[in-house]
A = this chain, B = another copy of it.
Amino acid sequence: MRIGELASRAGVSVRSVRYYEEQGLLTSTRSPSGQRHYTDGEVERVAFIQRLYAAGLSSRTIAELLPCVDAPSEEHSDSALERMAQERDRLSAHIADLVRTRDALDALMVTARAYREQLGTALAG
């Protein structure tokens, strides 16, 4: 498929797909005229890249981890495994932080609702 279809299937912009390639996260075969062509598998790859971006990984970091996805080998596994563990921990901490913040929002909402209830009662009484 060409870049437009890949982008829409993966739910990203065409611009982003080109950017991923520029960052070395994605490769494409080129038609004689220079247009990029992709296989079905690339859709999942692009989606995964998006997930990693959403998780706060930088292009540089993603570039270090993706070879590990493609083919596990000694060279990758050694340094990449450490990096992966490190990112996993960072992600875990971030998740815990977000959960705490969500709890804080919940508490805030409870307070606000309680105030509303009380106000309603006061007006009715």
Hey, which bits of chain A sit against chain B, CB under 8 A?
48, 51-52, 54-55, 65, 68-69, 72-74, 76-77, 80-81, 84-85, 87-88, 91-92, 94-95, 97-102, 104-106, 108-109, 111-113, 115-116, 119
Residues in B with CB closer than 8 Å to A95 are: 95, 98-99, 102
> Can you name 25 A-B residue pairings with CB atoms under 8 Å?
A51-B104, A54-B94, A54-B98, A54-B101, A55-B101, A55-B102, A65-B108, A69-B108, A72-B111, A72-B112, A73-B115, A74-B116, A74-B119, A77-B112, A77-B115, A81-B112, A81-B113, A84-B105, A87-B105, A88-B102, A88-B109, A91-B105, A92-B102, A95-B98, A95-B102
Q: Which residues of B contact A48 (CB under 8 A)?
A: 104
Integer count of this chain's copies in the complex:
2
A95 to chain B, nearest CB (A): 5
On whether the beta carbons of B98 and A84 are closer than 8 Å, the reply is no
Additional A-B contact list (6), CB under 8 Å, known A68-B108, A84-B112, A88-B102: A51-B104, A55-B98, A72-B115, A81-B109, A87-B105, A91-B101
A87–B102 Cα distance when bound, in Å, is 9
